[in-house]
Amino acid sequence: MKIEKLSIIIPAYNEGNTIHLILDKIKGVKLIDNIRKEVIIVDDFSDDHTAQAVSDYLATNAELDIKYYTHESNKGKGAALHTGIAKATGEYLIIQDADLEYNPYEYNSMLKPVCDGFADVVYGSRFMGSNPHRILFFWHTIGNRWLTFLSNLFANLNLTDMETCYKLFDTKIIQAIKLSEQRFGFEPEITQKIARVPRIRIYEVGISYYGRTYEDGKKIGWKDGVRAIYCILKYGLFKVN
């Protein structure tokens, strides 16, 4: 299918030190088929210099289509994604964290199954393919794989990485889904709900992963893992809308 514009949703919370770097990477990517980029930044009430960093970037990079929205209180990553998804105007949208764990140069790999007419949704997997992966936490990897297994069990999918940030969606499809999770529960919720869409075509491609430590600013913790289990059961086993 022909895609005119890709919306890139960036939830940001205290990412003043890195957001200009990820924006530079996004600006440097030439998308296949001359697809245009729409960058939507949702600042989830940061208390660092994220707002100033974005303002400075806007002043010197007018060629990049950037829209900046702010929350009046800290609501969580999921809530920031809800805002960004609602504002998206591209035929497809992709989620991009404001840190440097994921490389925008891989957008084209994820777009290819869509542009070739095969996919409505594409997940970028950190656990498949030959791309580089930073070696970090053993128990995080075990946790991610176990959550993916549990999610697959109820969604009847065979994903290798449900918790990945890189998810590419048909905008109309995801905007029609009611989303409730305000924090990191977004990942299992959307996976369970997208799997229930009739005749949905979900693909997965291998991506690289440049993971951060907690000293680098990583925010997800064990409590979010517990919440993910709750969300899988809520939206998968009990099929709450």
Please write the tens of the pLDDT for every residue from 188-204. 999 999 999 999 999 99
Span 32-48, mean pLDDT? 98
pLDDT at 225: 86
- Position 214 scores a pLDDT of 61
Q: Which amino acid is at 120?
A: D
* Number of neighbours of residue 210 by Cβ within 10 angstroms: 12
Nearest to 85 by CA among 193, 145, 147, 173: 173
- pLDDT recorded at residue 213: 64
> By CB neighbour count within 10 A (0-12 exposed, 13-18 middle, 19+ buried), where does 145 fall?
middle
What pLDDT score was predicted for residue 223?
A: 86
- For 37, 46, 195, the CA distances from 1, given in Å and listed in that order, are 17, 38, 21
Q: What percent of the chain has pLDDT over 70?
A: 95
pLDDT digits (tens, 9 = 90+) for 70-79: 999 999 999 9
Res. 92: pLDDT tops 80: yes
pLDDT tens for 204-231 read: 999 999 876 666 655 677 688 899 999 9
pLDDT at position 216: 62
Residues, the chain: 241
Using a 10 angstrom Cβ sphere, with 0-12 exposed, 13-18 middle and 19 or more buried, the burial of residue 215 is exposed
pLDDT at 65 (0 to 100): 98
Does the pLDDT value for residue 120 go beyond 80? yes
Residue type, 85: I
Kindly state the average pLDDT of the residues 47-68: 98
> According to the model, what pLDDT value does residue 31 have?
98
